[in-house]
Amino acid sequence: MASKNFFLVGDDVSTAQSILVSPTYGPDELKRAVARHFHIVQPSGVSFYVSYSSINTVSDILDATEPIGIRIDNQAVREPDGPEGLPIVGSFYEIFPDHLGNHTRLFRQYGGLIKTTNMGKTNYLTDDPGIAAVALNESIYFSKKINEDHPLWGVKDNIATFVGDTETETWRLSHKFLPTSMGPKAVRHYAPLIQETVRRSFAVFDAFAESGRSWNAYQYMVKLASETIGKVILGQNFGHLANADAPFHPIPLSILTMFQLNKRVASRGAWYQNLPFGDPKKLRETHKLCYALIEGIVSDIETSDTAMPKMPMAEAALKASNLVEYLIKGTDEKGETFPRSMIVPNIVMLTSAGFTTTASLLSWLIYSVTEHPGNQERLLQELVNNGISETTEWSVDLVSKLSFLDKFVKETQRLHNPAFQPARTAKTDVIVPGGYRLKADSVVVCALHSLHTNPNHWHDPSQFDPDRWDTAEVKGRHRAMYLPFATGPRGCIGFNFALLEAKIIFSELIYRYEFIRDGSENVQYDPEFQLVRPLNLYVSVRRRANLSTK
């Protein structure tokens, strides 16, 4: 072993530190040793320099007589840049209300990792797949740790998945039980329930078709998606599809109110969250109401005579009539069930994550067919070509045959993904791809919309083109260029279900109705919501008369 001096290009050469280098090291081993020492997250990006000349071999390193400079992805190490901001409000007016558009603009101006401050919170946002990939992968450098700067700080609850830290016993337990109930096997048996729910909704949409009345897409997709989730998770019929004007059930209503209030409260900073009046107070009250309603349902299922016996969770996932029953009766390898005290917070989370997102995806799918002529016909033709009719029995296998539908859904999620800001926290000082230096506890937000439209990685990114998914460029893309469900251990556990649900519901709707946009103004997304949902998308439907044949 020889002791060699290394420094990060961008820092003064006097900061050089000695690292032991073995002559037996291969180039990758050397990069790993150096990366570990300097907390460089991705060793493959490391390169070495002496007097501005690149050196590549371990023997060159051993021969070097001067301190050896390190670059990351050929870049010097530096702090992320961003708008300077104003006192107190920081970058608020640079970002809101159009946070998606403004973040994209700031990436073009400042690079792939930007620093923003907003009402006392500092976030580092990225549209770079290399940075997103390392941030989302739980590691010695990053974890989902919800600190005061994290977008989920206002709703943090370590007992519940989604809004709790990874490094907790409670997340470990929920991660053990919940994914089985949403895995590919379990999801298969939800297809008939999804089919039954969407067919019940025809009473509502037929009435709209007859009257010619136009309707707000998100509002009705929420009714439909929450009706499905109500059954799957809680075993409840929310009654949303009884008629066109059926009122919202208090559970989805309270969840939607929380999503709105939380985005509003969180974007105004920590000082606002604890106010004893106004939105913060309403948020706390709505939270309490939602928990109380779900506790009532859990207790009823717990004491119901018809409940199934305890059984291993893999079996319970296929036999339980709903997820509450699954969590009460499913057992792990030691025969233990999910702790009772954790059921309500996790069921609230699953219910919330389960319908607000798919409702938004369904709304954007409707938007995409009305906005981009020709696609509605292509989708319908594919259904006809696959022998789909009004009496089709839907299954996972049938859905997987619909390749144009798959591309259409992907393209819609690329441009209008419901989730937009999965965030992870640096556990130590780190240097991420591109050479950006972050301090421990820095929160990196993966700006999904900007990532999905990054012109360095997507050809003609704003163009809606489902066929791009057939191109070699997109097929061979960086694995983190498209992350609608995030990735890594804290990625979405409901994605199998979400895609199955959206594809069955949307296919059934397209088969029965032609969608027509109402109004000609630009469709806006709601900037004051936890998810990207269309605010002013009004459509009407026409019952299809003559279906095209094969």
Q: Does 491 bind ligand HEM (CB under 6 A)?
A: yes
Residue among 69, 80, 154, 354 that touches ligand HEM (CB under 6 A): 354
Return the DSSP state at 231: I
Q: Does 530 bind ligand HEM (CB under 6 A)?
A: no
Report how far residue 346's alpha carbon sits from residue 530's, in angstroms, rounded to the nearest whole number.
18
Smallest distance from ligand HEM to CB 523, Å: 18
- Give all strands (DSSP E) within 383-501, no chain letters: 423-426, 430-432, 436-438, 443-446
Q: Which is nearer to ligand HEM, 21 or 365 (CB)?
A: 365
* Nearest alpha carbon to residue 130 among 480, 455, 420: 480
For residues 422 to 451, the per-residue mask of contacts with ligand HEM, x marking binding by CB under 6 A and - elsewhere, is: x-----------------------------
Q: Do residues 228 and 501 lie in contact, with contact meaning Cβ atoms separated by under 8 Å?
A: yes
The overall longest dimension of the chain from CA atoms, in Å, is 84
Report how far residue 347's alpha carbon sits from residue 234's, in angstroms, rounded to the nearest whole number.
8
Q: Which is nearer to ligand HEM, 111 or 151 (CB)?
A: 151
Q: Does 419 bind ligand HEM (CB under 6 A)?
A: yes
Stretch that binds ligand HEM, among 6-14, 96-104, 411-419, 518-526 (CB under 6 A): 411-419
Q: Quote the tokens at residue 497.
A: 């279900």
* Nearest alpha carbon to residue 297 among 330, 250, 258: 250
Q: Does 129 bind ligand HEM (CB under 6 A)?
A: no
Q: Does 348 bind ligand HEM (CB under 6 A)?
A: no
Q: Does 130 bind ligand HEM (CB under 6 A)?
A: no
The full DSSP string for 77-138 is -BPPB----BTTTBTHHHHSS-HHHHHHHHHHHH-SEEEEEETTEEEEEE--HHHHHHHHS-
Residue among 498, 505, 523, 537 that touches ligand HEM (CB under 6 A): 498
Residue among 31, 490, 503, 533 that touches ligand HEM (CB under 6 A): 490
Using CB under 6 A, count the residues that bind ligand HEM.
24
Q: Both ends of the chain: CA-CA distance in Å?
A: 72
Residue among 153, 162, 218, 338 that touches ligand HEM (CB under 6 A): 162
Smallest distance from ligand HEM to CB 48, Å: 35
Q: Do residues 514 and 541 lie in contact, with contact meaning Cβ atoms separated by under 8 Å?
A: yes
Q: Does 497 bind ligand HEM (CB under 6 A)?
A: yes
Residues annotated as binding site for heme? 492
Site of interaction with ligand HEM (CB under 6 A): 161-162, 182, 349-350, 353-354, 357-358, 361, 417-419, 422, 484-486, 490-494, 497-498
